[in-house]
Amino acid sequence: MKKLKLILILIAGLSFELQAQELDVNLQIRPRFEYRNGYKQLLQEGQKGTSQISQRSRLNFNYKQEDLIVKLTLQNTRTWGDVTPTAIADKNGVAVFEAWAQYNFTEKWSARMGRQVLSYDNQRILGEQDWAQQAESHDALTVSFHTETQKLDFGGAYNSTAENIIQTPYTVSNYKTLQYAWYHNQFNEHLGASFLVLNTGYEYAPNPNPDNKLIVDYKQTFGPYVAYKTSKIDTNFWVYGQTGKSNDLQVSAWNAAANFGYNITEAFKLGLGYEFLSGKSTNDGSTVIKSFNPIFGTNHGFNGYMDYFYVGNHLNSVGLQDAFLKLNYNTNKWQFALIPHVFLAAADVVTPLNEKLNSYLGTEIDATFGYNFKKDITITGGYSQMFGSKTLEFIKNGDANHTNNWAWLMISVNPKIFSWKK
């Protein structure tokens, strides 16, 4: 460890100018055990659940020199046992999660370029997706104007598969181009409001395509987010619309939600909420995309922890209505939460025999706990169960009568291993 610190000091000290400099280095080791028995989808007859342990390992470098800020985060994600004990290489290797440089032109204006996290408001549309071991980051350029009460961010990205010399199809499962603007106004210590406009362009080749054309269709997601918070009340709501085109199809979708929380005591908090994500009836023959897509949102934090909806699934479907209750209790080093959800389809569910099914999809019960074991070490876990309906069976297949549940336990170790300042 002494040798590592000496090397880091030498690297940080390679400057011929007497400028204020700071370097912080920290680690994250985050293994998570999961028992999946109907996680993300109902188990089908004859299927059995499974268990595994995944792990995130991160090394973070944070450097600052007057108006320059640089961050580099290296990470490895793995499933325990995905390579043999004598393997000479990891299955996933070491990836760059963040690698960006930011320059502060003034106290208010700054620009950041490189691999970075785009996270705004409650992360419904743009978020880090930290629950996923790999999380989510973007190759982008962002420009920010921040005052004490107002924030304005612009960002953009343009993606290619490689350093090509001729036009080459973009085959990565990602947007070809992205632009966004986000404005936030903090009216007072209790009330704040934001407005987000996001434009995503996805490339595709039309069919038929005798001229080998590549087309980029643009979809826009936009809307306000409002939050009000006092010592007792914590509430927010949002409305997002979606328009534009996707694969030559018109998009017309929307999302709205409201959440209300009240601190009954210092330890006990009660909350309730409702979210609507538009969908398309199963017997709707139009080509218009009416199902809302949260795109880059931290979707695990919404609509139940079992990830039945919008976590790599349930897109271009019947949408969702989610009514839920939140009970939180915190004491000393412990945190407990109980969150029951009632799910309904947002559009009609009609079978091929023209039978209209009940809109009720199911009820999910989520229970979680957290324990601050000691400095830099936290333990979290939970248990969830889905009580699905025949309508959920029709949409997702599987057997609703089967016990569909999920349990997890995660340990997060986050030590700061080095800090230097001159």
Mean pLDDT of 232-247: 97
φ/ψ of 390, rounded to 5, equals -65, -30
For residue 23, tell me if it sits in a domain.
no
Taking the C-alpha atoms of residue 36 and residue 394, their distance in angstroms, rounded to an integer, is 21
State how many domains the chain has: 1
CB pairs under 8 A, 24+ apart, for 325-328? 325/270, 325/271, 325/272, 326/261, 326/269, 326/270, 326/271, 326/272, 326/273, 327/268, 327/269, 327/270, 327/271, 328/268, 328/269, 328/270, 328/271
Kindly report the pTM of this predicted structure: 0.91
For residue 19, tell me if it sits in a domain.
no
Residue-range definition of the domain harbouring residue 125: 29-421
For residue 22, tell me if it sits in a domain.
no
Q: Is the pLDDT reported for residue 341 higher than 90?
A: yes
Mean pLDDT of 394-420: 95
- DSSP class of residue 357 equals P
Query: In this predicted model, what pLDDT tens digit does every residue of 2-27 receive, in sequence order?
Result: 555 555 555 555 444 457 899 999 99
* Spatial CB neighbours of 81, under 8 Å, sequence gap ≥ 6: none
For residue 361, tell me if it sits in a domain.
yes
* CA-based torsion, 394, 399, 401, 406: positive or negative: negative
Query: In this predicted model, what pLDDT tens digit does every residue of 256-301 receive, in sequence order?
Result: 999 999 999 999 999 999 999 999 999 999 999 999 999 999 999 9
Which CATH number covers residue 118?
2.40.160.100
For residue 190, tell me if it sits in a domain.
yes
Query: In this predicted model, what pLDDT tens digit does every residue of 71-97 receive, in sequence order?
Result: 999 999 999 999 999 999 999 999 999
Query: In this predicted model, what pLDDT tens digit does every residue of 303-334 receive, in sequence order?
Result: 999 999 999 999 999 999 999 999 999 999 99
Taking the C-alpha atoms of residue 392 and residue 144, their distance in angstroms, rounded to an integer, is 44
For residue 128, tell me if it sits in a domain.
yes
Helix (H, G, I), strand (E, B) or coil at 137: coil
For residue 417, tell me if it sits in a domain.
yes
| Nearest to 90, CA basis, from 57, 116, 59 | 57
Mean pLDDT of 213-225: 96
For residue 278, tell me if it sits in a domain.
yes
Which residue reads 């919404």 in tokens? 302
Query: What is the CA 174 to chain-centroid distance, rounded?
Result: 15
CA distances from 296 to 28, 173, 311 (A): 23, 13, 10
